Amino acid sequence: MDLKKIDAPLTTTTYNRNAVDAPTGNIYEAISIISRRAEQINSEIKKELIEKLEEFATYNDSLEEVFENKEQIEVSKFYEKLPKPHALAVKEWLDSKIYYRNTEEDNQK
């Protein structure tokens, strides 16, 4: 996921209910799919952030000394300014970039 090319909204946005539930025909199913994708996005972003912060980590034995690393601060600020995972998931859903399938329909065939 390229976080620099994301065009999801940073603030709360009202979406057309009919556009959200159009692919599934059920608003609850659509929200369930979007929430699962938001959880995936959140874990990806968290993993990426931890990896980047580990690059700049300094380890010391003294608990009294706290070092502020400018690189770590800049990385943290970048991730704080990103849209929330649920906004990214809704954007992907509305752009038809999320693959989903109904396992109950697959079992009936």
pLDDT-derived band at 106 (thresholds 50, 70, 90) equals low
* Average pLDDT of span 89-102: 92
Distance between CA 85 and CA 35 in Å, rounded?
Answer: 9
Residue 64 has pLDDT above 60, yes or no: no
Is the pTM of the predicted complex or chain greater than 0.85? no
* Average pLDDT of span 88-97: 94
pLDDT-derived band at 66 (thresholds 50, 70, 90) equals low
Query: pLDDT value at position 26?
Result: 92
Residue 65 has pLDDT above 60, yes or no: no
Can you say whether the dihedral through the CA atoms of 12, 33, 52, 59 is positive or negative?
A: positive
Structure tokens at 11: 């603030």
Structure tokens at 36: 């699962």
pLDDT-derived band at 55 (thresholds 50, 70, 90) equals confident
Query: pLDDT value at position 105?
Result: 73
Query: pLDDT value at position 61?
Result: 59
